[in-house]
Structure formats: structure tokens, C-alpha cells
Amino acid sequence: MSHPHPELSTPPPLPKGGLRVIPLGGLGEVGRNMTVFEYDGRLLIVDCGVLFPEDHQPGVDLILPDFGPIRDRLDDVEALVLTHGHEDHIGATPYLLRERQDIPLVGSELTLALLDSKLREHRLRNTVHHKVKEGQRLILGPFELEFVAVNHSIPDALAIVIRTGTATVLHTGDFKMDQLPLDGRITDLRAFARVGEEGVDLFLTDSTNAETPGFTPAEKSITPVVDQVFRDSKQRIIVACFASHVHRVQQVLDAAVANNRKVAYVGRSMVRNMGIARDLGYLTVPGGTLVDAKELADLPPERQVLISTGSQGEPMSALSRIAQRSHNFVHIEEGDTVLLASSLIPGNENAVYRVINGLARWGANVVHKGNAHVHVSGHASAGELLYCYNIVQPRNVLPVHGEIRHMLANAELARATGVENVVVAEDGVVVDLVDGVATITGKVDVGLVFVDGTSVGDITEADLKDRRILGEEGFISAIVVVDSVSGKVSAGPEIHARGFAEDDAVFDAVKQPIIDAVNAALAEGNTDAYQLQQTIRRVVGRWVSGAHRRRPMIIPVVVEA
């Protein structure tokens, strides 16, 4: 990853009593959060999340933080502390545990429950869990942890105080300061103040909304829109939101009950997460409200509510399929109302508008961020961050969780309140806290680690470039000369390609399979040129989609000699 310190090299050994911070992901991007703290030879990791790929990374399922810098030191890891259950904080944990399965996992009840279902999917059993609550303390090697309640767009989120023999660190995790949240669990500013009074040497703060002036509106402020949708709608209501947004789902459930409607979940992650949240008491579902989607379809439309995934236009999601009228049992009808109760994550605009247009084309009334107040952010805006700096009065600040512009805006806020030392660092930049002063002391090599199907880290940036080109404009031609007397391939295949790898050697892998397939077809008496060309097309097509995940134009040519 690029960062503004090309001159940096490997950091010097950490002085005794010093605390080292090594961000492996999440600083310079929104996603794959992972920060390593080192003290007295021991390591503590905070969060281990994923980043979702964008359009220019075809075939990539997930992007992980780079574990490279700690790979040789996994035995020094005291624990992995998880601030909350969002994918950008827990999603990479199974991949870390594949490298050392007994790293103790520390988190709140809901966070660990959401993580657990993920670990089971990866067949990771016998993992070590420490379930913690706000107010609780936990000693792990040289690190003394204290957990503080914070309010965010998922319940049970925690900020973390890390005390070593020489320093106190406060890490906000993702947070905002909704003063009237649905569950009444507010960010514990009294604890922030108490720890601040004791002296915070390093304060790591959520930068996501640092550019947004003022305060993030209350979650309850979207209630009027939800109520209006339920009041005005004469037919079915479909609500799409994030599958982890328990409080958003609670609002919809409450409105459904008040309006004598029944609710079904659509989408695997929605069904799973809301099941966990309900079992643990984070979601209250009045008896008889929830039915399965097929049962719901038997009710008159004015009694139906569907809560669905797909609010970001994800092509395989339930909502996208509903918009294309290709969903198994949800058939969008004229007069249905669709409420997209979520943010529009940059990069997803085209996909989301495609879904909105698709729904509107069938006559649905679509209520979304562009035409109604249907979403509030889960992150603190500038005003809330200023409050926090004034309450905590930290000696040093390290903005986290954001693109560089977010982190720079956050740094400005810290400076404006009088914080003397603000350090802006991106992934891989090492920050040492020594004698109460944080400074950048070096860098470690980190990159993007791509998960592609079952392979982790085998795909490189160069491979993705090939995929992009081949996928967008590439073609492959294969010319084979067949000897009509011997009934065998006598020359070729000669392969030409455009928009594929620079090096023609990549095609060596497919040459013999082409010869074998054509010879086999000839041996079966297949001499028709068109059919032989189809044989070549199949072999090349299978190979290129298997090895490169693309579908270029394939031009097979059979010449008889």
C-alpha cells in the first residue's frame, strides 16, 4: 500500500517500556481493520476484518489484511480483541486462526456469537473465547484491558482501554453518540472522562465521518419515514437493509406489528444474524409476527412485510433477484413499496440504481436515501469527535478507520481542540509510543491479500489486471491443422490472444488439452470442421474460465491439410 512516507525502512528495536502500534489494515481505507500492539515482546491484536472488492477486482471474493509482518510471531500473540461484529472487523478472523487456531478471541456476547457462526462455516472448532462486557477488565500477559460501551450501527459494540506498565491507550472502535438509541445503550462518555482524567497517552479514533460537520442524527429520526411507508402502503412492503443492523430491523418489526402485518426474512445472512440476535435477546420479536417467506406469500399483500438483504445492489442478493423478477418466490407487483433503509456505499451507486430502476419498472414505489430520510450513519461526525477530544484530552492521537482524507480531517479536529501530537499513519506505518510521545519510526511491508474461491494470497495485482483486460475486451484464437489422411492434429494449436497476459507462455497449459480433445473427436469419426471448432471452443473456454475466471471471445479455427 502506498503511504506518505516512502523514506521509511524497518523500524529500530522497540525501547524498553515502549508501546508499538502496527496497523495491518483499515488505515487508508474503510475495511479490513486490524491493528497490532506490541509491548514487552508480546502482541495484542485489535480487530481482524475484511474489505469487499470493487468492480476493478474481478473474481475476488474478499480482501484480507496482510498477516505477513506477524506471521513469524504468532506465538507472541496474547489475544485478538474484537470491537464489534461487523465484517470489516471480524471477517478475516477465520483466516488468521488457520495460521494459529488457539489465539484467544475476546469480544462481547453478540460479537462472539456472530463470529462463531463464521468459524463454524470454516470448520474451526475448539477456539478459545473470552466473553466480556462493558465495565469489565481482563489481564492478558502485559496488557490490562478494560471495555467501554459504545453506540454503533450494531448492538454490543465496545471501545477498549489498553493499559501497559507505562502507557494507557483508548481505542474507540467504530462508534457514534446517539443519545436516545433504541436499546438505551449509549456511548459511555463518563468512562471516557474517567480514563481521560487518569491520563490517555494514545487515543485511536474512528475517522469515517470526520469530514461530516455536526452530529450524526439519532437512529429514531428515521421512524417518521418508516411509519409513513406503513401508513400509506396498500400492498406488500419490502425493506432492504444491512443484515447486521439489528435496530433497523427492530424498527421495521415494531411498525409491522402496529400495522397488523406479518414479516419474513429473505437472504441467508439476514435469517442467520437475526436468529442469533433474537436468541440472545438483542432483537424482540412479538409472537406470531415472524413467518417464513412461503407462508407470508399466502397472506393478502397488505399484510406482508419482507426484510431483505441486498441494499447495496449486490448482484446475487435477494433484492437484485426480486428487481429482475428472477426470485424463486417473491414476485414484485405494481403498487408494492420497497424501502432501501441503508447508506449508499461509494462504489455501489451503479448497482443500487440498477436495482431501484428494476423495481420501479415493475411499478413498485421505491423509497430510498435519495428521496427520503431512511438512513443514519453508524459513525461519529465531526461534532461528536470534538466532544471526545475535549472529554478525553489525550496526549497523542492516531486517527484510524478511514481513507486518508477522513484521517486527515480527523487529525485536524484533534489539533483544533489542542491535542499537541497527532500522528497520521497508513497501513504498515509503525508508530512507537515512547516516554509519552508517539512518533512514526518505520514501516513494515503490507499489501492486499486476495481471497479467490479457496485460494488465499495466490492472486496478485498483475493477475487482476489480466482479468480486467481479458474480461472487458479480450479474445483468444486457436488454429489447429488436421491431417485428413492420418485423422490427427498435424500442426498447432497456434494461439493468439489480445488483451491477455503479455507472456504467451500462459497458453502452453491449454495446448495439449486442445490436441487431445481434437484427436479424440477425430478418432470418433468427427471430421466436421464446425464440430471440431466447437470442441476447441469448449476446451479453451473451460480453461480460461477455470484458470482466469473470464469469458473472452474464443475464435477456434480448424484447417484441413
Q: What is the residue-wise DSSP string for 101-159?
A: TT--EEE-HHHHHHHHHHHHHTT--S--EEE--TT-EEEETTEEEEEEEEB-SSSSEEE
Q: How far is the CB of 108 from Zn ion (least distance, A)?
A: 13
156 sits near Zn ion (criterion: CB under 5 A): no
Q: From CA 270, how far away is CA 243, in angstroms rounded? A: 5
* Residues 142/166, Cβ–Cβ less than 8 Å: no
**Contacts to Zn ion from residues 483-502, by CB under 5 A:** none
Q: How far is the CB of 235 from Zn ion (least distance, A)?
A: 34
Taking residues 352 to 371 in sequence order and writing x for each that binds Zn ion by CB under 5 A, - otherwise, the string is --------------------
Single out the residue of 81, 91, 255, 84 nearest to residue 155, CA to CA: 84
Taking residues 35 to 74 in sequence order and writing x for each that binds Zn ion by CB under 5 A, - otherwise, the string is ----------------------------------------
> 409 vs 539, which CB is nearer to Zn ion?
409
Collapsing DSSP to helix, strand or coil, 373 comes out as: coil
Of 34-42, 70-78, 172-180, 407-415, the segment contacting Zn ion by CB under 5 A is 172-180
Q: From CA 156, how far away is CA 85, in angstroms rounded? A: 8
Q: Per the structure block, which three cell numbers stand in for 7?
A: 523514506
Q: From CA 472, how far away is CA 166, in angstroms rounded? A: 56
> 404 vs 481, which CB is nearer to Zn ion?
404
Q: How far is the CB of 72 from Zn ion (least distance, A)?
A: 28
For residue 162, list its beta bridge partners.
145, 169
> 78 vs 174, which CB is nearer to Zn ion?
174
**Contacts to Zn ion from residues 68-107, by CB under 5 A:** 86, 88
Single out the residue of 330, 326, 325, 288 nearest to residue 307, CA to CA: 330
Q: How far is the CB of 86 from Zn ion (least distance, A)?
A: 4
Residue tagged 406482508 (cell numbers): 304
Q: From CA 394, how far away is CA 263, in angstroms rounded? A: 47
> 88 vs 146, which CB is nearer to Zn ion?
88
Kindly determine how many residues on this chain lie close enough to bind Zn ion according to the rule CB under 5 A.
3
Collapsing DSSP to helix, strand or coil, 29 comes out as: strand
Of 170-178, 247-255, 274-282, 490-498, the segment contacting Zn ion by CB under 5 A is 170-178
> 174 vs 201, which CB is nearer to Zn ion?
174
Q: How far is the CB of 253 from Zn ion (least distance, A)?
A: 22
Q: From CA 401, how far away is CA 207, in angstroms rounded? A: 5
Q: How far is the CB of 152 from Zn ion (least distance, A)?
A: 6
Of 125-133, 173-181, 247-255, 532-540, the segment contacting Zn ion by CB under 5 A is 173-181
Of 168-176, 475-483, 501-509, 519-527, the segment contacting Zn ion by CB under 5 A is 168-176
Of 135-143, 169-177, 180-188, 420-428, the segment contacting Zn ion by CB under 5 A is 169-177
> 57 vs 83, which CB is nearer to Zn ion?
83
Q: Which residues of 130-143 are buried (b: 16+ CB within 10 A; e: fewer)?
A: eebebeeebebbbb
Q: How far is the CB of 559 from Zn ion (least distance, A)?
A: 58
Q: Per the structure block, which three cell numbers stand in for 87?
A: 465484517
* Residues 29/50, Cβ–Cβ less than 8 Å: no
> 385 vs 514, which CB is nearer to Zn ion?
385
- One of 47, 146, 174, 336 touching Zn ion (CB under 5 A): 174
Single out the residue of 142, 168, 163, 164 nearest to residue 78, CA to CA: 142
Q: How far is the CB of 88 from Zn ion (least distance, A)?
A: 4
Which residues lie below 8 Å from residue 14, measured CB to CB, with a gap of 6+?
A: 20, 38, 432
> 146 vs 174, which CB is nearer to Zn ion?
174
> 51 vs 517, which CB is nearer to Zn ion?
51
Q: How many CA atoms lie within 13 A of 253 on its CB side?
A: 20
Question: How many beta carbons lie within 10 A of that of residue 206, not counting itself?
Answer: 29
Q: Per the structure block, which three cell numbers stand in for 292?
A: 417464513
Q: How far is the CB of 208 from Zn ion (least distance, A)?
A: 7
**Contacts to Zn ion from residues 184-203, by CB under 5 A:** none
Q: How far is the CB of 4 from Zn ion (least distance, A)?
A: 23
> 277 vs 495, which CB is nearer to Zn ion?
277
> 86 vs 548, which CB is nearer to Zn ion?
86
- Residue 307, phi then psi, degrees to nearest 5: -110, 120
Q: How far is the CB of 33 from Zn ion (least distance, A)?
A: 6
Over its C-alpha atoms, the chain yields an Rg (Å, rounded) of 27
Of 166-174, 324-332, 410-418, 482-490, the segment contacting Zn ion by CB under 5 A is 166-174
Q: Which residues of 163-198 are buried (b: 16+ CB within 10 A; e: fewer)?
A: bbebbbbbbbbbbbbbeebbbebbbbbebbeebbee
Q: How far is the CB of 430 from Zn ion (least distance, A)?
A: 22
Q: How far is the CB of 175 from Zn ion (least distance, A)?
A: 9
> 88 vs 188, which CB is nearer to Zn ion?
88
> 218 vs 555, which CB is nearer to Zn ion?
218
- Mode of pairing for the β-strands spanning 42-46 and 77-81: parallel
Single out the residue of 68, 59, 121, 60 nearest to residue 90, CA to CA: 121
**Contacts to Zn ion from residues 395-424, by CB under 5 A:** none
Could you list the residues that contact Zn ion (CB under 5 A)? 86, 88, 174
